[in-house]
A = this chain, B = another copy of it.
Amino acid sequence: MAGSTFGTIFTVTTWGESHGPAIGVVVDGCPAGLPLCADDIQQDLDLRRPGQSAYTTPRKEKDQVSILSGVFEGRTTGTPISLIVYNEDHHSADYSQIQDIYRPGHADYTFDQKYGFRDYRGGGRSSARETIGRVAAGAIARKVLTTLGITVQAYATAIGPVKIDMTAFDATEIRRNPFCLPDADAAKKAETFVQDCMSRQDSAGGIIECIADGLPAGLGQPVFDKLDAKLAQAIMSIGAVKGVEIGDGFAASESTGSDNNDSFCVEHSANAGAASAHITKKTNHAGGILGGISDGSRLIIRAAFKPTPSIRTEQNTVNRTGESIKLSIGGRHDPLVVPRAVIVVEAMTALTLVDLLLQNMGSRMEYLERIYR
């Protein structure tokens, strides 16, 4: 695999550069018969679109998606779904002055080292616009999950040093503040912090948490394609992510076995009049994964985002020939990527889950007999 494809059965292949004519994705292996229209995808794309608050870039990008294949009479056909978003005004900018400069924190130098040269316009392939393909594909994965009663939701738990108070968690707050924080107080503190950053022409990072509910136990392939391992790859492959954790994550390393182990218990429930009992866990330090396989509890994954590398503050760097350069990056850049990355984290989580749901269908002979006999 050359790196632009993700997934084993439900495969996603993204393509496109920031300043090429278009950006897109091919989703192969989507089960046939899923109701799908462009609006289903546009909804998610609109959540990553810039210009939605004072704290994201004021660039105007409509990012209108078209479905080019794989959907017929409102349902997926089982064949590749090709999605395209045309880049607007991609001819306008003049990037010639930065074509030889290596911006700190960016991939300019490493692309040159890997390929011998690079498309230097607006980050080229390593631009955040590459996530358009991920979000568009993720919207399809989300529809598959919804059909099966599985939901995926992400939100920020920290903006720079400002953390949310977990006991004040309020899901309805998430899309009410510009930082996707599920805590109104934290959102106010974050606003002060980010405004301060912006006034110093600097940028900030943060943490995004993603949860999935309704997952059946049993997802994740043993050993290398564990649910947590594939999620770690999926999330770490997002541009600015520098860390990933599951459940208690790094905090678990300071805990003890007796505290960190989640006891199993039986939960009694009454559905439609009939009493039933099922095995569950009293706590969820594990974040819904044991031995790399979903345990039926809530899935919890967390990602650390570094501060946006594009800052107006003057920086020292060199150019292609090794000359020292002073660099101040103008233009309209996000002071923090977290708000627009929330939907990207959801997308990568959904893509991983659908692929593992499909892989898991072959885990028992009785499943084959259910389909084929």
Q: Given A32-B115, A77-B118, list of 15 further CB < 8 A pairs?
A: A1-B221, A2-B80, A5-B5, A5-B28, A6-B224, A14-B223, A21-B69, A32-B114, A105-B290, A126-B291, A204-B256, A243-B246, A260-B307, A263-B315, A361-B368
> A117 touches which one: B26, B77, B149, B367 (CB < 8 A)?
B77
Within 8 A of B (CB), among A101-115: 102, 104-107, 109-111, 113-115
> Which positions 1-47 of chain A face chain B at CB distance < 8 Å?
1-6, 8-11, 13-17, 20-24, 26, 28-29, 31-34
Of the candidates A1, A111, A324, the one having the most CB atoms from chain B within 10 angstroms of its own CB is A1
Number of interface residues of A (CB under 8 A): 168
A331 within 8 A of B: no
Query: Is A48 on the interface with B (CB-CB < 8 A)?
Result: no
Q: What's the nearest-Cβ distance from chain B to residue A72, in Å?
A: 4
A292 partner residues in chain B, CB cutoff 8 A: 107, 126, 237
* A242 lies within 8 A of chain B by Cβ: yes
CB neighbours (8 Å) of A246 from chain B are: 236, 242-243
CB distance from A105 to the nearest CB of B (A): 4
Residue of B nearest to A159 (CB): B253
A160 in the interface (beta carbon within 8 A): yes
Interface residues of A in 137-161 (CB under 8 A from B): 144, 147-149, 158, 160-161
B362 near A293 (CB under 8 angstroms)?
Answer: no
If A24-B82, A254-B161, A290-B105 touch, whether A224 touches B233 (CB-CB below 8 Å) is yes
Copies in the complex: 4
**Also in contact, A124 and B294, with CB within 8 A (given A104-B262, A263-B317, A368-B357):** no
Is the beta-carbon distance between A358 and B365 smaller than 8 angstroms?
Answer: no
A265 on interface, CB distance cutoff 8 Å: yes
| Contact, CB under 8 Å: A113 / B296 | yes
B114 to A363, Cβ gap below 8 A?
yes
A91 contacts B by Cβ under 8 Å: no
Q: Contact flags (1/0) for A274-315 with B, using CB distance below 8 Å?
A: 000101011001110011111110000000111111110101
The B-contacting residues of A in range 198-256, CB under 8 angstroms, are: 200, 202-207, 216-226, 228-237, 239, 241-250, 252-256
Q: Tell whether A168 is near chain B: CB-to-CB under 8 Å.
A: no
Kindly list chain B residues whose C-beta atoms are within 8 Å of the C-beta of A266.
318, 322, 324
Contacts of A94 in B (CB 8 A): none
CB pair B22 A80 closer than 8 Å: no
Is A340 in contact with chain B by the CB < 8 A criterion? no
List the B side residues contacting A10 at CB < 8 Å: 2, 362
Q: Decide if A92 is an interface residue (CB 8 Å cutoff).
A: no
